[in-house]
Structure 1
Amino acid sequence: MFGLFFLILFTPGVSEFLCTSSDLEISYTFCDSTAHAFTFNVTPCSFMNKSIWKATLTWIPRSDITFLKIIFHIWYNGVKALQWKEVLCSGADDEYSVCGMLKGETIATAFDIKGARTKFPKGDYDVILQAFSDDSENNMFMCLNFTMTVKQDAF
């Protein structure tokens, strides 16, 4: 099984490799100005076997998560390709385990990333993930900048 497990207490601006293989390389940095207690792992680190990626996340938030809105901005070879917004926690009938977590509690969860089924053309992808504690997008409490290099076209 391909993949690495990183336990990192990040400092802003420091790039960390999430995984690297013959066909794929993924790294990320925090794009906000604060350090985070954060762990993220993806396996397998490849598009070649056409499987779903398994991801694990461990994070200690510095504020309560009663409302959570995420925004993904995706660029391909420097051109904006997609923007996606989703409210994950609203305080009513929330389906995600992260909803309702309190400041300082450890979030430890595993989930599938189904995008691994997508055939990504060779090139550079930049993904900005922003997390907000309000719907107006004024109170950002986390920002991640993922860089993905697809080294060969998927078959």
Structure 2
Amino acid sequence: MFGFFFFILFTPGVSEFLCMSSDLEMSYTFCDATAYAFAFNLTPCSIMNTSVWKTSLTWIPRSDITFLKVVFQVWYEGAKALHWKEILCSGADDEYSVCGTLKGETFATDFRIKGARIKFPKGNYDVLLEGFSDDSENNMIICLNFTMIVKQDPF
């Protein structure tokens, strides 16, 4: 039984359901044909009156993380709302704990996301998160497509 669950969790194209509440639904899929050992959790599953979300992340990278560039894109109701790029790991004076993780090594962390600054209007959001091991964005090491459905306005 555990083997079947492990297969489903890490099979590309299979949607991983994160949470569902009266005001929010979240899930993610891998957006390329490569399977990842990856898990993400978010609590509480709500955007109403939530100032901080607690998250946990577990990932087993397929290559050493000496350089990591993330590209984060958000679409709201089909229109691009945000495009952000950041180099998280460069190999020198890195401040993020994922930096230096070795291929096959389990990276696990808990962190908080402050949400009081963000008011998400009701609607459908698609969030694309890509990670690259080079600055030219040729060597993708992870790709996730999050779907977020906000069921009511937080105003």
2:151 maps to 151
Q: Percent identity?
A: 78
- What is the CA–CA distance in structure 2 between the aligned matches of 1:47 and 1:105, rounded to whole Å? 33
Cα 1:145–1:19 shift into 2, 3 Å? same
Runs of 4+ in structure 1 off by over 4 angstroms are: none
2:111 maps to 111
Contact 1:55 1:112 in 2 (8 A): yes
Contact 2:20 2:26 in 1 (8 A): yes
2:25 maps to 25
- What is the CA–CA distance in structure 2 between the aligned matches of 1:123 and 1:54, rounded to whole Å? 23
Unmatched segments (≥5 aa) in structure 2:
none
Unmatched segments (≥5 aa) in structure 1:
1-5
1:16 positional shift: 1.4
Q: Normalising by structure 1, what TM-score?
A: 0.92
Contact 1:38 1:57 in 2 (8 A): yes
**1:68-90 deviations in Å (ceiling 9; x for gaps):** 00001110000011100010000
1:57 maps to 57
1:74 maps to 74
1:10 positional shift: 1.8
Matched letter for residue 112 of structure 1: R
2:39 is paired with a residue whose SS is strand
Residues 1:130 and 2:130 are matched in the alignment:
yes
Cα 1:142–1:47 shift into 2, 3 Å? same
1:9 positional shift: 3.0
RMSD: 1.5
1:116 positional shift: 5.6
Matched letter for residue 78 of structure 2: G
Q: Normalising by structure 2, what TM-score?
A: 0.92
**1:16-56 deviations in Å (ceiling 9; x for gaps):** 11010000000000001111111110000001222211110
- What is the CA–CA distance in structure 2 between the aligned matches of 1:116 and 1:103, rounded to whole Å? 36
